[in-house]
Structure 1
Amino acid sequence: MDAVKLAVVGVVLLLLGGIAIALGVLPAQDALAIADRVWPILLFVVAVTIVAELAAAAGVFDVAAFALARLGRGRTWALWGLVVLLAIAATAFLSLDTTAVLLTPVVVAVARAHRLDPLPFAFATVVLANTASLVLPVSNLTNLLAVERLGFDDPLSFLMLLGPSALVAIVVSTGLLYAVHHRSLAGRYLPAPAPRIENRPLLATAAVVVLLLMPLLVSGLPPWIPAAAAAVVLVAVFAWQSPRTLRVRLVPWQLVVFASGLFLAVGAVEALGSQQLVEAVTGTGGSLASLLQLAGVGMLGANALNNLPAYLALEAAARAPERLAALLVGVNAGPLITPWASLATLLWHQRLHAMGVDVPWRQYVLFGLVAAPLTVVLAVLPLAQR
């Protein structure tokens, strides 16, 4: 599904939601409550996307990736491991879409510049974009929704709840990636020339803004505030230094339309009484079996449809913190089987296709059939110990 199709689906969902409001299926007061809940989340998504796009345009990710190549000292496995760490950090602080959309082309370019197979590096970014999205509230749109539902006041509470599961998901998925690609990572590479930077003051400014933004996103402030401030600063700097870079495409309006329509449509379905059916499928309680059931249904729903509608449909059945955490494990770390399970995966594929990198979907699906259930099951185990 490309960006235009995503927007079309969002418009259709908005129309259906509007019809539900007009017919009284979804009370106007409930629709306003949905809007009040999601506007800070969507504002954050827009702001952090603009920051990431402008940072990429300034060369921040290029410089970081080539610095890792120098740090790897010619050892392919070391460079791959450093890329994994960069993907984890980018996902944790700047969201999974940043890793999939902006980091992937950079690491592929670095691999090609050093005459290495780009697939192990590309697969690392897309897998870690999903499994590392359990780390912080800002790592994934589903996390922001969950934090709002849980009423957590600071990211530390979220990290204490999901931290062990996130660590397990990252370690398991990274281990499986290495097991699959270890032969391609056994050689060495020669240093390549550093990327050409056309505007070093712009690069320095963008790097400072990103570095300052990362701790502010975990400071306890509503995430949209520091993200919006960072976006305003970078837009102002680019308007002065490189105005041609500022285009409408920087704003992820397709995602905003899609998410808005989805929130409204799910609210209408819930108003029709879907909660009882959902509870029958997901079970109740905080036992290990119940948590695995909920996470498993979330994983299946994400791979059948998409992780965002899967989360929204199942959220009402996850009242306790442990159950909501299990659902996040399923819908965040589980979308590794089908290409459409995560929007980040679709965007990842688009970027690779534009670079002329052929994605072997059969290999991706086979890897996911092993990685998704194993990662989800093992990542749920720490939740049963709470």
Structure 2
Amino acid sequence: MLLAGAAALASGLLPGPAFQVLAARTVPVLAFVVSMSLVTELVDDAGLFRVVTERLAALGRSRVTLLWLLVIGLAAVSTVFLSLDTTAVLVTPVVVLLAVHARIPPLPFALTTIWLANTASLLLPVSNLTNLLAQDRLRLSPAAFAGLVWAPALVGILVPLGILWLAFRRDLRGRYGPQPVHPVRDRVLLSSAAGVMVLLLPALVSGVPVQIPALAAAAILLALFLWRRRSALRWSMIPWRPLMLTSGLFMVVEALHANGLTRLVSGIAGPGDGLPALLQLAGLGVGASNAVNNLPAYLALEPAGGSPARLAALLIGVNLGPLVTPWASLATLLWHERLRTLNVEIRWGGFALAGLAAVVLTVPLAVVALWLVAGLH
């Protein structure tokens, strides 16, 4: 994909001025993605996610339902403040291992993490790369962005959880036994990582460009690891493949827009902020995400988001909708990769049917919530 983008630029399909505008918009976003990837990898290596999970197991008081509710809180907070990919990559293993050690069926916990990784990723700009792009287009502060989407974001959390409870209520009852406690390798590193996170989370929603606190946190953690655990640092902590994929997608889709895609999208997305128009745009986002992937779906349809409400409806489609096909979001693929290493089997037919049911219920309700709260009725 990166080679395709470079070829588009070299051949003139992506004009030089358009590329310069694209770079000015996306380089800060990509800097944030790289920085947060380093932060989450280093915080995980320091043992913070494991300690949090062990505390959750203790707080669950041996009750499976309470433990599930605590896992919901962990997955939601991780997604909202650290991004959906963090939940897929780092929260999934610790939550699934928690279920396995407690002799609880791991599937409800695994599905909870990936559904919330996608559907809880609407509230803040940092929750999803699509949100960062939309925030840049709308020129909104994090608080104003949350003010626009809080109602559909709430729907995106509650409706899938209701479906999961109905489907797995028998597995989510009963009690579990004591959990193993792992010794802390380096308390100084763990405490320092926790302190960095405590400072980082409010900084990400303070209104300061998000790449600045993310870069600062990554630099501090790198210095700490150079001091305390240099052997943990490795080049694979940088997400090279997603970075190349994303950069290439930006360039290819921008080249398509420069050669007529904008006119095509405007023709099929429909005009206006009425409820039917918002449902139509969100539906296009759902369909395009599950057919290709949610990032190119957003990039392709973004010109149709001519107002804050329309852009929010598109985000509902591309954030809450990628629950049907495994390639609909990168988070789902990363989640499945983690499950394979844990020997947890996922049947994609059942995954798709359950996801389709969740999308059919969640996306229209979220659009209606947006329409009502935005005062468009």
TM interval, shorter chain, is over 0.9
Secondary structure of the 2:185 match is coil
Verify the 8 A CA contact 2:2 2:249 in the aligned structure 1: no
Amino acid at match of 1:40: P
Task: Give the Å deviation of 1:11.
Answer: 2.7
The answer to whether residue 219 in structure 2 is matched with residue 232 in structure 1 is yes
Using the alignment, how far apart are the partners of 2:39 and 2:122 within structure 1? 21
Aligned mates of 1:20, 1:48 — CA distance in 2 = 29
Alignment of 1:202 onto 2:193 = no
> In the alignment, residue 286 of structure 2 is paired with which amino acid?
M
How many Å apart are 1:277 and its aligned residue? 1.3
Determine if the alignment matches structure 1 residue 216 to structure 2 residue 187. Answer: no
Match of residue 134, structure 1, among 100, 109, 122: 122
Counterpart of 2:61 (choices 58, 61, 73) is 73
How far apart, CA to CA, are the structure 2 residues paired with 1:39 and 1:19?
A: 19
**SS class of match (1:133):** coil
What residue identity is the alignment partner of 1:296?
Answer: G
1:293 alignment partner AA: Q
Match of 2:334 in 1: 347
Q: Which residue of 2 aligns with 1:20?
A: 8
Partner SS state of residue 274, structure 1: helix
Out of 276-285 and 36-45, give the one that drifted further: 276-285
With the length of structure 1 as denominator, give the TM-score of the two structures.
0.95
Shift in Å, 1:230: 0.4
Equivalent position amino acid for 1:185 in 2 = L
Matched, 1:324 2:315: no
1:4 alignment partner in structure 2: none
Q: Select which of 86, 90, 97 maps to 1:102.
A: 90
Answer yes or no: is 1:31 the counterpart of 2:19. Answer: yes
Partner residue in 1 for 2:288: 301
Distance 2:245 2:347 in 1: 28
Distance 1:382 1:358 in 2: 35
Question: Aligned ranges for residues 139-150 of structure 1 at < 5 Å?
Answer: 139-150=127-138
Letter in 2 for 1:131: T
1:381 aligns with 2:368: yes
Give 2:249's aligned residue: 262
Partner of 1:61: 49
- What do residues 112-160 of structure 1 show as CA deviations (whole Å, max 9, x unaligned)? 12121111111110000000000100000000000000011x2000000
- What residue ranges of structure 2 are gaps of 5+ in the alignment? none
Q: Is the 8 A contact 2:60 2:70 kept in 1?
A: yes
Letter in 1 for 2:334: L
Q: Distance in 2 between matches of 1:243 and 1:85?
A: 33
Structure 1 CA distance for aligned equivalents of residues 129 and 85 of structure 2: 10
- How big is the shift at 1:28? 0.5
Deviation at 1:373, TM superposition (A): 2.0
- Please, which moves more after superposition, 30-39 or 354-363? 354-363
Aligned equivalents of 2:119, 2:302: Cα separation in 1: 19
Please, which runs of 5 or more residues in structure 1 have no aligned partner? 1-9
Secondary structure class of the residue paired with 1:195: coil
Alpha-carbon distance between aligned partners in 1 of 2:106 and 2:46, rounded to the nearest angstrom: 23
Alignment-mate amino acid for residue 33 of structure 1 = V
What is the CA-CA distance between 1:196 and the residue it aligns to? 2.2
**DSSP 3-state at the match of 1:134:** coil
Structure 1 residue 360, shift from structure 2 partner: 2.1
Instruction: Give CA deviations for 1:225-278 in whole Å, capped at 9, x if unaligned.
Output: 001100000011011111111001110111111111111101110011111211
One-letter code aligned to 1:44 = F
Establish whether residue 250 from structure 1 lines up as the match of residue 258 from structure 2: no
Q: What is the aligned-residue identity percentage?
A: 52
Partner of 2:171: 184
TM-score by length of 2: 0.97
Determine if the alignment matches structure 1 residue 124 to structure 2 residue 142.
no
Q: Distance in 2 between matches of 1:24 and 1:40?
A: 24
In 1, distance between residues paired with 2:3 and 2:167?
41
Segment drifting more, 87-96 vs 358-367: 358-367
